[in-house]
Amino acid sequence: MNLILPEHYDPRLTVRETQEAIKYIRDTFQKEFGREMNLERISAPLFVEKSSGLNDNLNGVERPVSFDMAFLPGETVEVVQSLAKWKRLALHRYGFKPGEGLYTNMNAIRRDEIPDNLHSCYVDQWDWERVITREQRNLETLRDTVRNIFKIIKHMEHEVWYKYPQAVKHLPDDIYFISSEELEAMYPDDTPKERENKITKEHGCVFLMKIGEKLSNGQPHDGRAPDYDDWQLNGDILFWFETLGCALEISSMGIRVDETSLMEQLKKAGCEERKNLPYHRMLLNGELPLTIGGGIGQSRLCMLLLDRAHIGEVQASIWPEEMRRACAEHKIFLL
Give DSSP secondary structure letters for 294-324. Answer: EEEEHHHHHHHHTT-S-GGGSS-----HHHH
Write out pLDDT tens, residues 261-282: 999 999 999 999 999 988 899 9
Write out pLDDT tens, residues 12-56: 999 999 999 999 999 999 999 999 999 999 999 999 999 888 887
Q: Which residues neighbour 272 within 8 Å (Cβ) at sequence distance 6 or greater?
A: 263, 266
Contact between 204 and 171 under an 8 Å Cβ cutoff? The reply is yes
| 57 has a pLDDT exceeding 80 | no
Strands 229-241 vs 205-209: parallel, antiparallel or unpaired:
antiparallel
* Catalytic site residue from 26, 88, 110, 137: 110
- DSSP one-letter string for 66-124: EE--TTSTT--EEE-S--HHHHHHHHHHTT--TT-EEEEEEEEE-TT---SSS--SEEE
| 84 has a pLDDT exceeding 90 | no
Is 51 in the active site? no
Report the amino acid identity of residue 120. S
Is 110 in the active site? yes
Cα angle: 37, vertex 42, 44; to 5 degrees: 120
Average pLDDT of the chain, as a whole number: 94
Write out pLDDT tens, residues 193-231: 999 999 999 999 999 999 999 999 989 999 888 998 999
| 238 has a pLDDT exceeding 80 | yes
- pLDDT of res. 223: 86
CA distance 301 to 26: 9
Q: How confident is the model at residue 77 (pLDDT cuts 50, 70, 90)?
A: very high
- pLDDT of res. 82: 82
Show the domains of the chain with their CATH numbers: 15-328 (3.30.930.10)
Nearest to 87 by CA among 288, 306, 267: 288
Q: Which residues neighbour 325 within 8 Å (Cβ) at sequence distance 6 or greater?
A: none
CA distance 136 to 211: 19
* Catalytic site residue from 82, 136, 232, 252: 252
CA distance 272 to 4: 41
Query: Would the pTM of this model clear 0.85, i.e. be above it?
Result: yes
- pLDDT of res. 1: 74
Is 124 in the active site? no
Question: Could you give the C-alpha distances from 202 to 146, 150, 238, 247, in angstroms and in order?
Answer: 19, 17, 12, 11
* Catalytic site residue from 125, 180, 265, 298: 125
| 58 has a pLDDT exceeding 80 | no
* Catalytic site residue from 26, 30, 56, 251: 56
Is 252 in the active site? yes
CA distance 133 to 97: 9
- pLDDT of res. 284: 94
- DSSP one-letter string for 213-234: SB-TTSSBSS---TTSEEEEEE
| 320 has a pLDDT exceeding 80 | yes
- pLDDT of res. 273: 92
* Catalytic site residue from 78, 229, 230, 249: 249
Largest Cα separation within the chain, whole Å, is: 58
